[in-house]
């Protein structure tokens, strides 16, 4: 690796002169600065589980649960956690039952979950031997969750939309979305379409997801990211599926206007197979032309 410190010109060393003292002092400052820069660079590349001291210590109860992962089987740890936890899953018992039935019928499968909530360990345990991946907008919450439940696979992701833009984005997507060149994933690196989540970790694009749970990001105040881009991108993933089968998409909080509006536009009511309270269930087949949005998603099938 090329040194970050430029080499000074060759000079004779005069150990007892003022200029020599200044040179050593400047050299020491340069070494310190370079070390700090390298530390910052590599710390940002580190797995969040190794830098989680920034979010504070775990409580005694949380520490016990985290330590159990080293010695106990996952189902037992899950039971232990929810038997002793004060926080309960965001969804109701009946809402949870629908995805559980699908995961049991498909398992092991690829399960993509938008959001890390108090139910994260539960969702992961419902897919034993499968791949369950969580995408969370809050880095501190991601780190905290990985400390508590080190078995989880999770990434912190960013969204560039705001709930207040939902109507405008819906009106403009046919013009700005869908024009993807090459054989790459139809979402990846798409910077023109603001509804396309194109800057996720490669693992998101490298798999066909059998089940997608949309329960994030935040969508209950105007400056929140909203779930517009997630709903659009989940529909693109399902339409672009390469292996046999269909994609099950579960959307939570459909009592809110934007979730319902975007579900009708992109997930398509003809693919809705059921729902319980605030949870809708869609079964979406792959499409022949994934990027064709000229007439809308639901008219093209």
d(CA 250, CA 213): 5
- Per-residue CA distances from 20 to 12, 27, 32, 81 (Å): 10, 11, 19, 63
How many domains does the chain contain in total? 2
- Per-residue CA distances from 5 to 1, 31, 41, 264, 289 (Å): 12, 8, 16, 57, 53
Residues 99 and 31 in one domain: no
Residues 24 and 97 in one domain: no
The values of phi and psi at residue 140, to 5°, are: -65, -40
The CATH number of whichever domain residue 260 belongs to comes to: 3.40.50
- Assess whether pLDDT exceeds 60 at residue 291: yes
In this prediction, residue 55 carries a pLDDT of 53
Task: Give pLDDT tens digits for 73-96.
Answer: 666 777 767 777 777 777 999 999
* 164 — pLDDT class (breaks 50, 70, 90): very high
Half-sphere exposure of residue 222: CA atoms within 13 angstroms, side-chain side: 1
Residues 38 and 158 in one domain: no
**Residue labelled with tokens 């498909």:** 106
Residue 158 lies in a domain: yes
Residue 67 lies in a domain: no
Residues 126 and 24 in one domain: no
Residue 51 lies in a domain: no
Residue 252 lies in a domain: yes
Task: Give the structural domain span for 126.
Answer: 91-300
Bridge-based pairing state of the strands 131-136 and 154-156: parallel
Bridge partners (DSSP) listed for residue 281: 250, 274
Residues 29 and 121 in one domain: no
Mean pLDDT, residues 117-123: 92
Residue 215 lies in a domain: yes
- Per-residue CA distances from 50 to 41, 44, 47, 69, 279 (Å): 14, 11, 6, 17, 35
Task: Give pLDDT tens digits for 195-242.
Answer: 999 999 999 999 999 999 999 999 999 999 999 999 999 999 999 999
Residues 287 and 139 in one domain: yes
* 184 — pLDDT class (breaks 50, 70, 90): confident
Residue 80 lies in a domain: no
In this prediction, residue 31 carries a pLDDT of 42
Residues 34 and 134 in one domain: no
Residues 36 and 159 in one domain: no
In this prediction, residue 14 carries a pLDDT of 38
C-alpha Rg value of the chain to the nearest Å:
24
Percentage of residues of the chain with pLDDT beyond 90: 56
- Assess whether pLDDT exceeds 70 at residue 33: no
Task: Give pLDDT tens digits for 39-77.
Answer: 333 333 333 333 333 456 767 767 766 676 666 666 677
Residues 132 and 265 in one domain: yes
Angle of helix 228-239 relative to helix 166-176, nearest 10 degrees, comes to 30
Residue 234 lies in a domain: yes
Residues 33 and 175 in one domain: no
Mean pLDDT, residues 280-284: 98
Residues 36 and 125 in one domain: no
Residue 102 lies in a domain: yes
Angle of helix 74-84 relative to helix 60-68, nearest 10 degrees, comes to 160
In this prediction, residue 39 carries a pLDDT of 36
- Total Cβ atoms within 10 A of residue 151: 15
In this prediction, residue 89 carries a pLDDT of 76
* 294 — pLDDT class (breaks 50, 70, 90): low
Residues 155 and 249 in one domain: yes
- Assess whether pLDDT exceeds 90 at residue 264: yes
């Amino acid at each position: 690796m090329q040194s970050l410190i430029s080499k000074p010109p060759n000079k004779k060393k005069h150990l007892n002169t003022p200029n020599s003292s200044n040179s050593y002092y400047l050299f020491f400052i340069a070494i310190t600065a370079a070390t700090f820069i390298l530390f910052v660079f590599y710390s940002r590349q580190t797995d969040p589980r190794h830098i989680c001291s920034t979010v504070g210590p775990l409580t005694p109860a949380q520490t016990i649960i985290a330590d159990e992962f080293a010695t106990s089987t996952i189902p037992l740890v899950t039971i232990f956690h929810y038997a002793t936890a004060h926080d309960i899953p965001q969804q109701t018992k009946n809402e949870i039952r629908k995805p559980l039935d699908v995961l049991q019928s498909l398992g092991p499968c690829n399960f993509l979950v938008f959001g890390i909530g108090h139910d994260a360990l539960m969702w992961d345990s419902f897919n034993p031997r499968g791949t369950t991946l969580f995408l969370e907008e809050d880095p501190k919450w991601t780190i905290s969750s990985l400390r508590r439940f080190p078995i989880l696979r999770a990434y912190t992701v960013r969204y560039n939309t705001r709930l207040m833009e939902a109507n405008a984005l819906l009106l403009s997507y046919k013009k700005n979305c869908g024009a993807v060149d090459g054989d790459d994933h139809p979402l990846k690196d798409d910077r023109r379409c603001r509804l396309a989540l194109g800057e996720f970790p490669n693992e998101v694009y490298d798999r066909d997801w059998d089940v997608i749970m949309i329960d994030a990001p935040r969508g209950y105040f105007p400056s929140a990211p909203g779930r517009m881009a997630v709903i659009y991108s989940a529909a693109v993933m399902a339409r672009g599926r390469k292996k046999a089968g269909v994609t099950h998409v579960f959307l939570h909080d459909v009592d809110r206007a934007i979730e319902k509006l975007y579900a009708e536009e992109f997930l398509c009511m003809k693919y809705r197979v059921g729902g319980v309270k605030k949870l809708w269930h869609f079964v979406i087949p792959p499409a022949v032309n994934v990027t064709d949005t000229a007439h809308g998603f639901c008219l093209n099938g």
